[in-house]
């Protein structure tokens, strides 16, 4: 039976009264957390199993295909030869995603700041202030001074406000902790 790999579709098929499952095995992978949480919410006895252990068990098979691997995983679940792994909650996954996105944005903002400083250093400028304070004002002043670097300073002046804006509310860690 072929079913799309979506939690609602799988839950609809697996909750059919014609089937009676003691446990349902999912091999750990990129989509397993999403599928696990969806199937667990549907009240199914789902277990996420360790990938390396599964690979070692399935290595004995001569032919490799998704269908044969599924049969092998089903056999592992039947005879209780699996190692369960912990699946993080959806809340902890969201927190981690927000923290990683925040870190990425911070790194990019710092990289742009460093690049702008390096660009302006070629014209004899050395600004120690950051983009958030006197930096934009200083570049407005230098852009009007008629020096050769006015185009670079103007570009820095236009880019700086975009990177100086406060973080969106989605990155407020106190709000995340309250959820």
Q: Tell me if 57 sits within 8 A of 81, measured CB to CB.
A: yes
pLDDT at 174: 44
pLDDT tens for residues 33-50? Answer: 889 999 999 999 999 999
Instruction: Report d(CA 37, CA 94) in Å as an integer.
Output: 13
Ranges of the chain with pLDDT below 70: 124-179
Estimate the crossing angle of helix 150-164 against helix 90-121, to 10 degrees: 160
Pick from 48, 78, 108: which residue ends a domain? Answer: 78
pLDDT at 178: 45
User: How many domains does the chain divide into?
Assistant: 2
Instruction: Report d(CA 25, CA 126) in Å as an integer.
Output: 60
Torsion from C-alpha of 146, 147, 148, 152, nearest 10 degrees: -90
**Residue 24 burial class via C-beta count within 10 angstroms: exposed 0-12, middle 13-18, buried 19 and up:** buried
pLDDT at 48: 92
Q: pTM score, two decimals? A: 0.59
| 86 falls within a domain | no
| 145 falls within a domain | yes
Residue 34 and residue 64 in one domain: yes
Residue 66 and residue 104 in one domain: no
| 91 falls within a domain | no
Domain of residue 159: give its range. 100-178
pLDDT at 46: 92
Residue 72 and residue 35 in one domain: yes
Determine the longest span between alpha carbons in the chain, in angstroms.
Answer: 81
Residue 150 CA to its chain's centroid (Å) = 40
Residue 67 and residue 125 in one domain: no
Structure tokens at 80: 């209780």
Residue ranges of alpha helices (H) inside the chain are 7-14, 32-41, 51-58, 66-78, 90-121, 134-144, 150-164, 173-178
Residue 110 and residue 159 in one domain: yes
| 92 falls within a domain | no
């Amino acid at each position: 039976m072929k079913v799309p790999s979506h939690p609602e579709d799988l839950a609809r098929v697996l909750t059919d009264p014609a089937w009676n499952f003691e446990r349902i095995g999912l091999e750990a992978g990129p989509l397993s957390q999403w599928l696990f949480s969806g199937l667990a919410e549907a009240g199914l006895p789902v277990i996420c199993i360790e990938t390396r252990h599964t690979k070692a068990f399935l290595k004995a098979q001569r032919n490799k295909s998704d269908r044969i691997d599924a049969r092998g995983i089903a056999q592992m679940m039947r005879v209780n030869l699996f190692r369960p792994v912990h699946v993080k909650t959806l809340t902890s996954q969201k927190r981690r995603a927000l923290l990683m996105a925040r870190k990425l944005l911070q790194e990019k903002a710092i990289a742009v700041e460093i690049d702008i400083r390096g660009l302006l250093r070629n014209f004899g400028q050395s600004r120690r202030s950051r983009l958030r304070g006197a930096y934009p004002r200083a570049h407005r002043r230098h852009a009007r001074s008629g020096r050769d670097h006015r185009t670079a300073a103007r570009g820095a002046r236009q880019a700086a406000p975009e990177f100086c804006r406060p973080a969106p509310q989605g990155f407020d860690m106190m709000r995340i902790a309250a959820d």
